[in-house]
Amino acid sequence: MRTSHRSECVINQTVEVLGDQWTLLVIRDIVFVNRRHFRELLTQSLEGIASNILADRLRKLVEQGIITKSDDPTHKQKAIYSLTEKGIALVPLLLEMAAWGDEYLPTSKLQGLARTLKEGGPELRAEFMDELRKTHLPASA
């Protein structure tokens, strides 16, 4: 994992962690669609992510502490990816990106959960993030 950054600017440092489209789309699918296995993320990606890119992004997200990877108790050869608190903290950022796209991109149609969370206000967003914590974080957290 890279520990030095090109600059001390926090925006730059955030872009270095999240700055490519695939990383954000993997996080989107984990957060909003609850895709938590490699195969689900690969085959159900609307944008058609390649397996080597997905593997690389998942590895980087684990290294950055945004998600964790653990053995799936239902299948010995599968891993399950879960959000960390650091990953859950990205939800407001993703919602703001979705709202910006809905406002300024002519082909964008903010749909489903993202629209509900946008219109539901801070209380609903906080409730959604609490549900993510219940699903993704160990009971001891």
Q: Which domains does the chain have, with CATH numbers?
A: 10-136 (1.10.10.10)
Which alpha helices (H) appear in the chain, and where do they start and end? Answer: 10-18, 21-32, 38-43, 51-63, 85-88, 91-104, 112-136
Give, rounded to a whole angstrom, the gap between the first and last alpha carbons of the chain.
24
- pLDDT recorded at residue 114: 78
pLDDT < 70 positions in the chain? 1-5, 107-111, 140-141
- Token pair, residue 122, equals 């801070």
Read off φ and ψ for residue 68, nearest 5 degrees.
-120, 160
Count CB-CB contacts under 10 A for residue 97: 14
On whether the CB atoms of residues 69 and 34 are closer than 8 A, the answer is no
Q: What is the pLDDT of residues 91-127, one digit of tens each?
A: 999 888 888 887 787 766 556 777 788 888 899 999 9
